[in-house]
Amino acid sequence: MKPQFQHTLVTSFFLWFDNHLQKRGDAYKNKTGIFYNMTDDRLDDTYNVYSSPYKQFIFDSGLNTSVVDSQGTAGPTVVDRISGQREDGSAFEITRGTSGLKIDYENGRVFFTGDNAGNLPGNNLSLSGGFGVKDFNLYVTNQTEEDLVIENKFKTNDRFGNLETSGVAPYDQVLPAAFLTSESIRNEPVAFGGLDVTQTNVKVVVMTTDLYCLDCVLSLAADARHRSFAEIDFEDFPTTEFGGIKTGTYPTGYSYNQIEADNTSEMFHIEDVNVSKLSDRIKKKVNPNVFVGFIDFEIHKYRSPRTQ
């Protein structure tokens, strides 16, 4: 089946919310660190996997501006190269695409396939690099709130300075994170000619170990009421199945700012936002170290569903 309205909405919302947190909340940390050799059963033997202790990496190069922000930087580092030493001690630095280097921004890791001459791949390389890590990972999920909050089997990304000595396992969902799901969709007629307003409820569960950060996300979300965001096609989601940037679609790198500037005609409108925190009197019944918040977005889009 070809992608439908729902896919476009979720894609557009995901990318907007990710950008909203990072751009308006400086919700990232720039890190420099070691990449540890890992195994991944989902990849075949031609890939040598090296993982950082953090996920998810920032992949929006448009966030890096010449303006110094509250973190004292010009924005998050979008990793596009890796440096290190071969087994013989010689140093190297390679960029994305060279020697089959792929950067998996979603899982905070890199992997090589190596070139035809057999250069670079191996499991005994010492790799390091600089990268920007999201303060809040973002996941699209179909898990219910009770699944997320009660079962709560997530790992925590320590972004505040503890020494990490291993990579983070691939595909695990890691806190702090925001889990979003599109819960219901409804078309209401608004004008002659078949024009409807499509009302979609997007719910976000925010889970973090830090109350300050939870308040930041809830506040940023509440301030988004009556904002609009650009429509982005499902196919234009910036990352591949390997978590890397789609270089065909974004040859000079992915920039939400650029997409926003290029898509001014087709927009989604945030009609209403409601934020709430899990009540303290019952929070003790879930993991006491995790703070939970809920954001309910009501998103409107004027469209003609029967003629499209």
Partner 1 sequence: MSRVVVPQGAVEIALKQTGKFVKPQVEPILAKEFKKIKNSMLAEFNSHPITRELEQKTNADPSQFVGRGSLFGFIGFDKNDDPTETVREMLKTSDLRFIRIKKEIVDFKVFYPSTEELFQATPLPWASGRSWLKGIESGMSGLGRYLNTETETSRSGGGIQSEDTVRSGGFKNTKYISEILNNFIKKINKLSIL
Binding site for partner 1 (CB under 8 A): 144-147, 149-151, 183-184, 201, 274-279, 282, 285-286, 294, 296
| Smallest gap from residue 194 Cβ to partner 1 (A) | 23
Whether omega before 176 lies within 30 degrees of 0, making that bond cis, reads yes
Measured from the CB of residue 262, what is the shortest distance to partner 1 in angstroms? 33
Assess whether the previous peptide bond of 56 is cis (omega < 30° from 0).
Answer: yes
Q: Is 193 left (phi over 0), alpha (psi -120 to 50) or beta?
A: left
Pick the closer one to partner 1 by CB: 227 or 285: 285
Rounded least distance, CB 261 to partner 1, Å:
34
The string of DSSP codes covering 189-257 is: EEETTTEEEEEEEEEEEEEES-HHHHHHHHHHHHTTTT-EEE---GGG-SB-TTS-B-TTT-TT---HH
- Of 32 and 184, the one with the shorter C-beta distance to partner 1 is 184
Closest contact distance (angstroms) between CB of 149 and partner 1 is 6
CA dist 14 and 198 (Å) reads 18
Using the minimum distance from each CB to partner 1, give the nearer residue, 183 or 236: 183
When the beta carbons of 68 and 222 are compared against partner 1, the nearer one is 222
In whole angstroms, the minimum distance from the beta carbon of 206 to partner 1 comes to 12
- Name the residue nearer to partner 1 (CB basis): 123 or 274: 274
As measured in angstroms, the least distance from the Cβ of 178 to partner 1 is 16
Q: Between residues 120 and 218, which has the closer beta carbon with respect to partner 1?
A: 218
Asked if 23 and 135 touch (Cβ cutoff 8 Å), the reply is no
Would you call 212 exposed, middle or buried from its count of C-beta atoms within 10 A (0-12, 13-18, 19+)? exposed
Determine the Cα–Cα distance for residues 244 and 106; give it in Å rounded to an integer.
8
